[in-house]
Amino acid sequence: MPRRTTLALALAAVPALAACSGGDADADAPLGPLRYHPVPGCEALDHTPCDIREATCQQRMLEIAACVRGSEAGRLPPVALMSKTAYAAYLEEQLAAEEPRPDPDHLERGLALLQLAAPGALSPSATIERSVDWVGGFYRFDTRDIVIVDPGEPMNAPIMNALLVHEMVHVLQHRDVDLVAYYEQPATDDASLAAAAVVEGEGRLHEARALASFVGIRPEEVDWVDYDRAAIDNANAWALEQPSPYLVSYAAVAYAYGARFVRAVWEADGLEGVRALFADPPDSTLALFASAEAEPPPPPREPAPPSAAPGWASQSEIVLGAWGTFVLLSLGAGTDAAHPVASAWRGDRLFVYGGDDSSGGEPETAVVWKVELSDAASAAAAATIVSELLPDANVELTGAALVVAAASGGATFDDWTL
């Protein structure tokens, strides 16, 4: 109490002094340097932004990453800078070492039939262009080093410091968990995306808290619910603006949705809870949609494949998940209408078929998307949206299950059992 009285008197004296020196003197006085507010719990570390090309700066970012996730900092990994041009060349080299996409690429065509991808979207050049557009840096599992893709920002900018903290989190994750094996576990594309949301979500969670500090505000005063909501809105809007919205799923989902998901676990169960996610990651993106709910979503259902007509051969099979469903429905009806329906997702399969080329022409492509929702009303809403979005598609509604079939070249599904 005595302290408080003294402080009150001291504060009361300020206006009087200011008045003597003439009105608004305090407000117009020259400023000292900005004081940075550390991430709570890491007050011993300097949070002033620095040039991330310098080893001392890199060491500090590693220490901040280690502090915020309760790890030992350990040895500083190599950090390299790469221009966007060099990154494109690096990706080209990586893709050249992989099995080339089939020709014709029925998966690409199938996604295009559903408006989820543009023609040519899975070509190496389009894949590279997408990555170069949004990747700011990456951590390489094999060489255990960090590459920062030069965006043209000053290297001491707060966002560059935060980016390095994010990548350092991956370094520390990989010391705790074999991330290569972690990414090999998921059985479907949607489960892979959900697993990635744990890795990138933790990175984004700590990156964002550090960024708050680096830009000069107090991390503890940020409304993180609002922050996550805006990040998800921005990610949704960005993805839906892309010519191939489903193909930017990693960029859109893993970071923004992942951060909200991991933050909910971190706030409820702390850093140990976050670590436990690596042993038991979510098995679908539905978990990311429902992160605010107390109960985990049910295991995804697996709709049976259709029986194709003679002359059609199965080419590939993917799971769009709640996220892919959300993208498709958003293209038709906007995000507000799509979100509740996508949240009712309980399982799906997108079956892709190629026609025979006996006629000598280009073989046709057919897709059958079978999705199960939690209730008939949601399925009916999805059917209405998809029918309007894809007027040439066959849309069949049975209770809470929906089948959408579309084919190129005017092919029909008369001889199919969907």
Partner 1 sequence: MAAALWSQLWGCAGGSGDAKGGDAVELFCSADCSNAGRCGFLVEGGCGDRCRQYNTALAIYSSSYMEATSRCLRTLSCAAISGDGYQECFEQATGLTAPTATTRAFCEDWVSTWFECGSWLSVTECEQDFARFSAQTLQQLAQCEAAESCQALSDCVVATWEGL
Nearer to partner 1, 183 or 238 (CB): 238
> Cβ of residue 227: shortest distance to partner 1, in angstroms?
5
Of the CA atoms within 13 Å of residue 106, those in its CB half-sphere come to 23
Question: Which stretch in 56-64, 111-119, 156-164, 374-382 sits in contact with partner 1 by CB under 8 A?
Answer: 156-164
Tokens of 128: 């590279």
DSSP class of 291: T
Residue 230 binding partner 1, by CB under 8 A: yes
Residue 227 binding partner 1, by CB under 8 A: yes
Nearer to partner 1, 8 or 230 (CB): 230
> Cβ of residue 221: shortest distance to partner 1, in angstroms?
7
How far apart are the C-alpha atoms of 294 and 296, rounded to whole Å? 7
Q: Which of 116, 172, 231, 401 binds partner 1 (CB under 8 A)?
A: 231
Q: Which of 222, 309, 337, 418 binds partner 1 (CB under 8 A)?
A: 222
Residue 11 binding partner 1, by CB under 8 A: no
Rg (CA), the chain: 26
How far apart are the C-alpha atoms of 161 and 79, rounded to whole Å? 13
Q: Are strands 365-373 and 145-149 parallel, antiparallel or unpaired?
A: unpaired
Q: Which of 38, 137, 158, 303 binds partner 1 (CB under 8 A)?
A: 158
Q: Which residues contact 51 (CB under 8 A, 6 or more apart)?
A: 57, 155, 156
224-229: which pairs have CB atoms within 8 A and are 24 or more residues apart?
224/263, 228/256, 228/259, 228/260, 228/263
**15 to 34: interface string for partner 1, x by CB under 8 A:** ---------x-xxxxxx--x
Nearer to partner 1, 163 or 389 (CB): 163
> Cβ of residue 130: shortest distance to partner 1, in angstroms?
21
Residue 223 binding partner 1, by CB under 8 A: yes
Residue 233 binding partner 1, by CB under 8 A: yes
Nearer to partner 1, 49 or 300 (CB): 49
319 neighbors 300 (Cβ within 8 angstroms): yes
> Cβ of residue 223: shortest distance to partner 1, in angstroms?
6
> Cβ of residue 184: shortest distance to partner 1, in angstroms?
33
> Cβ of residue 392: shortest distance to partner 1, in angstroms?
35
How far apart are the C-alpha atoms of 303 and 258, rounded to whole Å? 26
Three-state DSSP at 367 gives strand
Nearer to partner 1, 36 or 90 (CB): 36
108 neighbors 122 (Cβ within 8 angstroms): yes
How many residues of this chain bind partner 1 (CB under 8 A)? 28
> Cβ of residue 26: shortest distance to partner 1, in angstroms?
6
- Residue 9 has a CB neighbour count (10 Å cut-off) of 9
Three-state DSSP at 103 gives coil
Nearer to partner 1, 49 or 186 (CB): 49
Q: What angle do CA 349, 195, 204 make, to 5 degrees?
A: 130
> Cβ of residue 166: shortest distance to partner 1, in angstroms?
13
H or E stretch covering 50: none
Nearer to partner 1, 24 or 280 (CB): 24
- Residue 412 has a CB neighbour count (10 Å cut-off) of 11
How far apart are the C-alpha atoms of 275 and 296, rounded to whole Å? 17
Nearer to partner 1, 235 or 402 (CB): 235
Nearer to partner 1, 161 or 330 (CB): 161
Q: Which of 88, 159, 240, 380 binds partner 1 (CB under 8 A)?
A: 159
- Residue 316 has a CB neighbour count (10 Å cut-off) of 15
Instruction: Please report, as ranges, the residues that interact with partner 1 according to CB under 8 A.
Output: 24, 26-31, 34, 49, 157-159, 211-212, 214-218, 221-223, 226-227, 230-231, 233-234
